[in-house]
């Protein structure tokens, strides 16, 4: 099998730990990808030519003194590079000038291997570069913690939706909530005593399950997880986790951030799988076949008439930037963007339809209407 993705290690590659390779393996497995099959892991520059059908990323390992920047031939000027150093304050010592323009990561930080693996998946296009979190909470019980998490996670480069910060006066509150939920990877649920006594938080929880988004539950002291509730992971808080002002200590904040980083890949992978499942059902109803996933998770739908359609499952709310990437990747082939439109603002969907009508060989497929959409595309 020819790989769809390439991870090229260079620099002081002996600094690549077993923990990092394990983290890469685990992260890729969320998307049913294996190193050695769909993913090529080049540890010594043995891949000499760039496969134009592959998404590639370089991992440059720095050291003291800084190693030479012998970029593998498989990497182009346009491929992302992640420099890896022992500590961010040593970039000027451990990196050569050619690597300094790229944002580096530290190998000695807590959960560094998992974070580097997540960044690698981002660079390969497996998960969105925006790290989107929907914060669900009751203002009367957890406002201070919610504000703290918003500030802390934003500093850690998460894109956090908080209703008091995002919904403008005059906007339709519920419509905006569901649109934002559609575009988030993980829901962060602050489970306080009266969480399910609120209409809004109860509906947010239900909508997250409907969208199959991962839910990270933060259980406040004295609140027991209902076994009938479907949550992906939970962090149980103790009284000692709180500071005197009612906010959380740094240890808990680190745990929340690491859990979100891990869960968002799982969430994206599950939702992509659901999208492809709905498409497969529709293709089989038309007596067609659906191929295996390739770069950008695209799948080729083939029909008895000889027609073919390259379909790209996209998690979240599609944008013009995503459409542009798809059109460039598909080239002259007929292509379609598959997405879950439930919860997406009608005005947004109308804009997308208008935009799609002006691009040759590009089509839309809504997950809940895959069969009808395919018939319309092929008619």
**176 with 92, same domain?**
no
Considering its fold, how many domains does the chain have in total? 3
**262 with 141, same domain?**
yes
CA distance 96 to 328: 33
| Torsion angles phi and psi, residue 94, rounded to 5 | -95, -10
**256 with 288, same domain?**
no
| Torsion angles phi and psi, residue 21, rounded to 5 | -65, -35
Return the pLDDT at 374: 85
CA distance 335 to 322: 13
Q: Tens digit of pLDDT for each residue in 148-193?
A: 999 999 999 899 998 765 555 444 567 888 888 899 999 999 999 9
Q: Rg of the chain's alpha carbons, rounded to an integer?
A: 22
Return the pLDDT at 118: 92
Among 123, 153, 177, which residue terminates a domain?
123
Among 91, 123, 155, which residue terminates a domain?
123
**43 with 113, same domain?**
yes
CA distance 55 to 36: 15
**275 with 177, same domain?**
no
**325 with 344, same domain?**
yes
- Ordered DSSP codes for 109-173: STTHHHHHHHHHHHHTTSS-SS-EEEEE--HHHHHHHHHHHHHHHHHTT-EEE-HHHHPPTTS-H
**147 with 104, same domain?**
no
Return the pLDDT at 168: 52
Return the pLDDT at 172: 57
Q: How many residues does the chain have?
A: 379
How sure is the predictor about 46, in pLDDT bands with cuts at 50, 70 and 90? confident
Among 218, 243, 267, which residue terminates a domain?
267
Host H or E run for residue 5? strand 5-11
Domain CATH for 182: 3.40.50.10140
Residues contacting 183, CB < 8 A, separation 6+: 132, 316, 317
Domain CATH for 353: 3.40.1350
**317 with 251, same domain?**
no
How far is residue 137 from each of residues 122, 165, 180, 198, 204, measured CA to CA in Å? 28, 14, 15, 10, 9
**260 with 290, same domain?**
no
Q: How many helices (H) and strands (E) would you count in the chain?
A: 11, 15
| Torsion angles phi and psi, residue 34, rounded to 5 | -125, 135
Domain CATH for 109: 3.40.50
**140 with 263, same domain?**
yes
Return the pLDDT at 167: 53
**99 with 177, same domain?**
no
CA distance 268 to 314: 9
**231 with 115, same domain?**
no
Which residues span the domain enclosing 119?
A: 5-123
User: 8, 74 in Cβ contact below 8 A?
Assistant: yes
Q: Tens digit of pLDDT for each residue in 58-100?
A: 999 999 999 999 998 888 888 999 999 999 999 999 999 999 8
């Amino acid at each position: 099998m020819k790989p769809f993705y390439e991870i090229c290690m260079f620099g002081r590659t002996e600094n690549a730990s077993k923990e990092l390779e394990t983290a890469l393996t685990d992260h890729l497995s969320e998307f049913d990808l294996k190193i050695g099959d769909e993913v090529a892991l080049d540890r010594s520059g043995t891949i000499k030519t760039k496969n134009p059908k592959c998404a590639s990323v370089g991992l440059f390992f720095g050291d003291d003194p800084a190693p030479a920047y012998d970029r593998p031939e498989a990497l182009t000027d346009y491929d992302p590079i992640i420099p890896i150093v022992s500590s961010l304050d040593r970039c000027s010592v451990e990196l050569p000038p050619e690597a300094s323009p790229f944002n580096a990561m530290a190998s000695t930080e807590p959960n560094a291997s998992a974070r580097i693996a997540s960044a690698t998946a981002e660079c390969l296009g497996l998960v969105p570069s925006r790290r989107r979190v929907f914060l669900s909470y009751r203002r009367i019980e957890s406002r201070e913690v919610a504000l703290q998490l918003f500030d802390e996670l934003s500093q850690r480069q998460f894109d956090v939706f908080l209703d008091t910060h995002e919904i403008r006066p005059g906007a339709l509150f519920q419509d905006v909530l569901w649109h934002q939920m559609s575009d988030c990877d993980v829901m962060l649920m602050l489970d306080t005593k009266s969480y399910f006594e609120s209409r809004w938080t109860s509906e947010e929880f239900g909508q997250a399950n409907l969208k199959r988004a991962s839910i990270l539950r933060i259980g406040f002291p004295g609140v027991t997880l209902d076994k009938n509730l479907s949550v992906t992971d939970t962090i149980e808080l103790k009284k000692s986790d709180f500071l005197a002002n009612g906010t959380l200590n740094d240890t808990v904040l680190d745990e929340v951030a690491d859990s979100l980083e891990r869960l968002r890949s799982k969430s994206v992978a599950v939702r992509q799988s659901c999208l492809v499942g709905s498409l497969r059902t529709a293709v089989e109803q038309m007596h067609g076949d659906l191929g295996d996933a390739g770069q950008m998770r695209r799948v080729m739908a083939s029909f008895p008439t000889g027609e073919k359609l390259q379909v790209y499952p996209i998690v979240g709310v599609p944008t013009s930037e995503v459409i542009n990437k798809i059109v460039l990747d598909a080239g002259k082939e007929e292509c379609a963007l598959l997405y879950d439109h439930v919860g997406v603002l009608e005005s947004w969907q109308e804009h997308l339809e208008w935009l799609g009508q002006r691009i040759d060989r590009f089509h839309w497929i809504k997950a809940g209407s895959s069969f009808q959409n395919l018939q319309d595309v092929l008619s």
